Structure 1
Amino acid sequence: MDGLTVANELVFESNGEVVTDSLTIAEMFGKEHKNIKRDILETISKLASLQHNAEVDELGINFNTLKFEPIEYRDNRNRIQEKYILNFDAFMLVTMSYTTQKAMLLKVKYINEFNRMKNYIQSQQHVPTDPMSILKLTYEALEGQKQELQHIKSDLKD
């Protein structure tokens, strides 16, 4: 799971974006992974056929917000398999058709977790706007680089 950090059992952080994966969705919704992948591929296919539809422009629909990223992983028998990384929008499109009472509750739980993780990531990415804080942040970064250079120089001498 290169570049992914597990945040809890439902959602992950990947390059500053909150995502989940098809294996987790399958486990949570009590479905076989192959069926979740089928649902994802059907959704991707339907979206592809709609992209050149005149209504897309009329409605101002942007398909670029959807993330369906296939990645490889090793299963418990050490075989290379494929799963999908989905952002919130993609997750919602795939799971909209899951309508049992439990599915509805799970979707609300996912929504809560996506929002919680999004808020956490945003709070960690606070960028100062006042001049003194910007100056302090810049100074700290330069000091860190200076220390790194000194370590490299001492390593080269040894």
Structure 2
Amino acid sequence: MDNQLMNTSTIETIDSREVAEMIEVTHGSLLKKVRNYEEILTKSKLTSLDFFIPSEYKDTKGEIRNCYLLTKKGCEMVANKLTGEKGVIFTAKYVNRFEEMEKQIKIPKTDREILLLSVKVQEETAQRVDKLEMKVNGLENTLTIDHGQQLKLQSICKSRIISLLGGKDTPAYKELSKQLFSFIWRDFKQYFNISSYRDCLITDFENAVNYLKTWTSDNNMKLKIDLVNSQTRLEI
């Protein structure tokens, strides 16, 4: 059947369009009969869904059309209304059709079959979980730090620079802080191979924190810091 079925049942059924072909009537004619059967069953307080399940499909124009999914009971009801050779042929066709479906969806019966099915389901579930974990890990490896984490890196960097310059009120801080900020971020970006500290990966965040806390300037800068601070003290 070329037209796409919109709803499917969890139990074995045959599309009313296929049934109409089997009994050689138009689909519209079969729908009228099924609706009549539904009405009779409902009036008798019987569950029509045990026989006929309302469904829909898209026709070749993309429009939604009504159909039914007939259970084995539903097909038996239709077959009982047919007489002679036509009824026999339809019965043979729908019985064969349900046997085909049963082979495709084999329900485990023995304890061994149930156990094997359980193991298979567990293996398939484990494989899906592994794939999901791989996707999550892959996503984590591409996510960058959020605004709060960026602010934390800025704060740690500032504290480290103040410490290296001997305090925020020192002459070295006033004279050399901009240069030292430039150096620390230059080394940071080079170490983590990024163009901005904002591009730091979430997975690298803890390493980034430790890097900034322990970063130190080269020996020349240390000497320069000591010199600037000591000259000021001498002038005083």
Alpha-carbon distance between aligned partners in 2 of 1:25 and 1:134, rounded to the nearest angstrom: 35
Tell me how large the CA RMSD over aligned residues is: 3.0
**Are residue 81 (structure 1) and residue 41 (structure 2) matched?**
no
Q: Distance in 2 between matches of 1:153 and 1:46?
A: 58
Stretches of structure 2 that go unaligned for 5 or more consecutive residues are 143-236
Report % sequence identity.
Answer: 20
Q: Is the alpha carbon distance of 1:124 and 1:116 closer, same or farther for their aligned partners in structure 2, counting shifts above 3 Å?
A: farther
In 2, the alpha carbon distance for the partners of 1:46 and 1:89 equals 15
1:98 to partner: Cα distance:
1.1
Structure 1 gaps of 5+ residues are 5-13, 52-61
Structure 2 vs 1, CA of residues 155 and 108 (structure 1 numbering), >3 Å: closer, same or farther? same
* Cα distance between partner residues in 2 of 1:72 and 1:46: 22
Give the match for residue 128 of structure 1. 115
1:31 aligns with 2:33: no
Task: Kindly report which structure 2 residues correspond to 1:37-48, keeping only aligned pairs within 5 A, or say none.
Answer: 37-48=31-42
Amino acid in the other structure paired with 1:32: T
Between 1 and 2, higher relative CO (CA 8 Å, sep ≥ 6) is seen in 1
1:4-45 residue CA offsets vs partner (Å, 9 max, x unmatched):
4xxxxxxxxx42x21111111111211011110111011111
- Letter of the aligned partner of 1:127 in structure 2? I
The 4+ residue runs of structure 1 with deviation greater than 6 A are none
CA gap 1:50/1:136 in 2 versus in 1, 3 angstroms? closer
Q: Given the alignment of the two structures, is residue 21 of structure 1 paired with residue 15 of structure 2, yes or no? A: yes
Aligned-partner Cα distance in 1 for 2:37–2:30: 11
> Deviations along 1:106-151, whole A, 9 cap, x unmatched?
211211221231243125895317xxx8568646633541342122
1:68 alignment partner, one of 24, 45, 52: 52
> How far apart are the structure 2 equivalents of 1:24 and 1:80?
17
* 1:10 equivalent in structure 2: none
Q: Which 10-residue stretch deviates more, 117-126 or 147-156?
A: 117-126
Structure 2 distance, partners of 1:36, 1:64, is: 16
Q: Is the alpha carbon distance of 1:30 and 1:127 closer, same or farther for their aligned partners in structure 2, counting shifts above 3 Å? A: same
Q: Is the 8 A contact 2:53 2:69 kept in 1?
A: yes
TM-score by length of 1: 0.68
By percentage of residues, which structure has more strand?
A: 1
Structure-2 residue corresponding to 1:142 = 126
Q: How many aligned residue pairs are there? A: 135
